[in-house]
A and B are shown apart, each in its own frame.
Chain A
Amino acid sequence: MSASAPGASAPAARGRRWKRPPIFIQRGWLRLVVYGGFVLYLALAISTVEVNWSRVAEGMERGWRFVQGFLTPDFTSRSTDIVKGFVESLTMTLTSTVAGVILSIPIGVGAARNIAPLPVYAVCRAIVAVSRSFQEIIIAILFVAMFGFGPFAGFLTLTFATIGFMAKLLAEDIEDIDEGQAEAMRATGASWWQVLNWGIQPQVLPRLVGLSMYRLDINFRESAVIGIVGAGGIGATLNVAMDRYEYDTAAAVLLLIILIVMAAEYSSSWLRKRIQ
């Protein structure tokens, strides 16, 4: 309150220096060695990258042909392939997102430590970990080998990837809820299912819907990628066009992908804003 209050410290002497304490390493010399070593390693690593300049020049030339293809996209000569590819991709995207979200809800609930018993939690977390540890392409290669070329393998791949993504984020969201609301439901004598439906669901539902829209986005983009390893869809069409050096058709496919991704992006962000 006042300067004369007992216990207040004496006014500091002038010229007393102050420096922000370092964030990571307290000892000065050690900090110098660690950071210096890192810079040295970086310099050495960059110097070992071999650059074949004549090959780069050749690449530029091919790139130029590609750019020319882009300037004259050809939508017509392979139009049936393109339409078929997009229909397959969109079907794959929608079905796998719906299936993946439906399957991910029980797993996400089970993977939330604050509402699931330990054994259930362990199993669900294991499922999430397995699903998330493989990139879509690796899973797609596996499913193509199991079920043959085509969109069914793609559907399974995207569903599998969606489960890990959605379940993990849903579980984290449930763990972050305001416990007071769930506690209040418990105090009224609500059963576990009622606490889930009344105390937890209203808190996580808007984000669940938003994430599903986001995942729909991701699944469409992934469906183009996994087509390249044989899982059907627009990726397969694109791959064939590249193999035939039909850069104008490939350009048409890429342009359409960009358009659809942008449309999905805008509509999903609009929807997410609406449901908050």
Chain B
Amino acid sequence: MLRVEALTKRYKTGDKALTDVSFDVPSGQVVGLIGPSGAGKSTLIRCVNRLVEPSSGKVFLGDREITRVGRGELRRVRRRIGMIFQEYALVERLTVMENVLSGRLGYVPFWRSFLRRFPQGDVDKAFALLDRVGLSDHVDKRADALSGGQRQRVGIARALEQDPELLLVDEPTASLDPKTSRQIMRLICEICRERGLPAIINIHDVLLAKMFVDRIVGLRAGRIVFDGPPDALDEEALTAIYGSEDWNAMRKEADETAKDAAEAADFEARAQAGAA
């Protein structure tokens, strides 16, 4: 479905973000892309829809070579690729519905988007998606009135509104608490399975990645150093990706942190219910 061949990105400052990266994503596979900060995860997924121009190498979506298309064609390619962002990247002053409908911008002419007169089919789909992500009651709220988890749900609905053939997901949980993180990851992965949608998910939380994805690609300093199923991600592999560290100790600690956080969230919920 997606094929990346010998992708290299060198920024104008001379920093080499990606070196000779190649991999395939078959239909319906959810890939977790892990690696330390600055390993080039964000750059890699942005090279796929050319929000960042790669320096060399090829990217194919189906049999279309994305890295060669012109400006007009690039729009048509981008609308086939949904993207979900770290800080949600919703247009804060627009309503939830407008944010979801913005997923159709690549399909409609300017006058329709300017007058907010989208075809009925697009509006039906948007209502259905908002229902699916559990935001039916917030259609006309402004995006900046929502909580973090709700915003990311709008982000997911926007990406799906595009009818994508591929999802690019950039640190979907980085600004969320542990419990919401799991809910959001679960939602993304469920939707991908429902639709047979392939996805690349950048994620720095290794445990979360292992819990949800089909395959893990590890990036270190712009090179792929691990590629395999989540079970194969052992201490040796983690050391190859992140450098040496006592992984077992960290894992126990992380489990405890997650448990604490879940308990705290429960407690808060109960306290709020009590107050109300």
Query: Which A residues contact B (CB, under 8 angstroms)?
Result: 178, 180-181, 183-191, 193-194, 197-199, 202-203, 205-206
Contact A190 B83 (CB under 8 A): no
Contact B102 A198 (CB under 8 A): yes
CB distance from B115 to the nearest CB of A (A): 10
Contacts of A202 in B (CB 8 A): 91-94
Query: Which B residues contact A (CB, under 8 angstroms)?
Result: 49, 51, 75-79, 81, 83, 85, 87, 89-94, 98, 102-107, 110, 113-114, 158, 162, 168
Query: In the complex the two chains form, what is the Cα distance from A193 to B76 in whole Å?
Result: 16
A186-B89 contact, Cβ under 8 Å, with A191-B75, A194-B113: no
Contacts of B51 in A (CB 8 A): 183, 186-187
A194-B105 contact, Cβ under 8 Å, with A184-B89, A189-B162: yes
Contact A188 B94 (CB under 8 A): no
CB distance from A203 to the nearest CB of B (A): 7
CB distance from B217 to the nearest CB of A (A): 21
CB distance from B52 to the nearest CB of A (A): 10
CB distance from B263 to the nearest CB of A (A): 25
Contact A189 B110 (CB under 8 A): no
CB distance from A83 to the nearest CB of B (A): 43
Contact B91 A198 (CB under 8 A): yes
CB distance from A184 to the nearest CB of B (A): 4
Query: In the complex the two chains form, what is the Cα distance from A180 to B107 in whole Å?
Result: 21
Query: In the complex the two chains form, what is the Cα distance from A197 to B114 in whole Å?
Result: 7
A198-B158 contact, Cβ under 8 Å, with A187-B49, A190-B105: no
Contacts of A191 in B (CB 8 A): 75, 105, 110
Contact B89 A181 (CB under 8 A): yes
Q: Which of A180, A183, A187, A194 has a CB less than 8 Å from the CB of B110?
A: A194
Query: In the complex the two chains form, what is the Cα distance from A4 to B91 in whole Å?
Result: 50
Contact A185 B105 (CB under 8 A): yes
Query: In the complex the two chains form, what is the Cα distance from A189 to B113 in whole Å?
Result: 13
* Contacts A189-B77, A189-B107, A194-B113 supplied; 14 other A-B pairs, CB < 8 Å: A183-B85, A184-B91, A187-B168, A188-B83, A189-B75, A189-B76, A189-B78, A189-B106, A191-B75, A199-B91, A202-B91, A202-B94, A203-B91, A205-B93
Q: Which of A178, A188, A193, A197 has a CB less than 8 Å from the CB of B158?
A: A188
Contacts of A206 in B (CB 8 A): 93
Q: Which of B78, B79, B113 has a CB less than 8 Å from the CB of A198?
A: B113
Query: In the complex the two chains form, what is the Cα distance from A191 to B162 in whole Å?
Result: 15
CB distance from B185 to the nearest CB of A (A): 20
16 residue pairs bridging A and B, Cβ less than 8 Å apart: A183-B85, A183-B89, A184-B158, A186-B78, A187-B49, A187-B168, A188-B78, A188-B102, A188-B162, A189-B77, A189-B79, A189-B105, A193-B110, A198-B113, A202-B94, A203-B92
CB distance from A171 to the nearest CB of B (A): 20
CB distance from A31 to the nearest CB of B (A): 36
Q: Nearest 6 pairs between A and B by C-beta?
A: A189-B106, A189-B79, A190-B105, A184-B89, A189-B78, A202-B93
CB distance from A92 to the nearest CB of B (A): 32
Task: Considering the complex, give the chain B residue whose CB is closest to the CB of A204.
Answer: B93
Contact B91 A188 (CB under 8 A): no
Query: In the complex the two chains form, what is the Cα distance from A137 to B39 in whole Å?
Result: 58
Contacts of B162 in A (CB 8 A): 188-189
Q: Which of B81, B89, B114 has a CB less than 8 Å from the CB of A180?
A: B89
Contacts of B93 in A (CB 8 A): 202-203, 205-206
Contacts of A205 in B (CB 8 A): 93
CB distance from B79 to the nearest CB of A (A): 3
Query: In the complex the two chains form, what is the Cα distance from A181 to B86 in whole Å?
Result: 12
Query: In the complex the two chains form, what is the Cα distance from A197 to B76 in whole Å?
Result: 19
Contacts of B87 in A (CB 8 A): 180
Contact A188 B106 (CB under 8 A): yes
A187-B102 contact, Cβ under 8 Å, with A198-B94, A202-B91, A203-B93: no
Query: In the complex the two chains form, what is the Cα distance from A197 to B102 in whole Å?
Result: 11
CB distance from A42 to the nearest CB of B (A): 45
CB distance from A246 to the nearest CB of B (A): 52
Query: In the complex the two chains form, what is the Cα distance from A191 to B113 in whole Å?
Result: 11
Task: Considering the complex, give the chain B residue whose CB is closest to the CB of A189.
Answer: B106
Contacts of B75 in A (CB 8 A): 189-191
Q: Which of A180, A198, A199 has a CB less than 8 Å from the CB of B85?
A: A180
Contact A197 B113 (CB under 8 A): yes
Contacts of A186 in B (CB 8 A): 51, 78
Query: In the complex the two chains form, what is the Cα distance from A188 to B90 in whole Å?
Result: 12
Query: In the complex the two chains form, what is the Cα distance from A194 to B116 in whole Å?
Result: 11
Query: In the complex the two chains form, what is the Cα distance from A184 to B51 in whole Å?
Result: 10
Query: In the complex the two chains form, what is the Cα distance from A197 to B116 in whole Å?
Result: 11
Query: In the complex the two chains form, what is the Cα distance from A189 to B93 in whole Å?
Result: 20
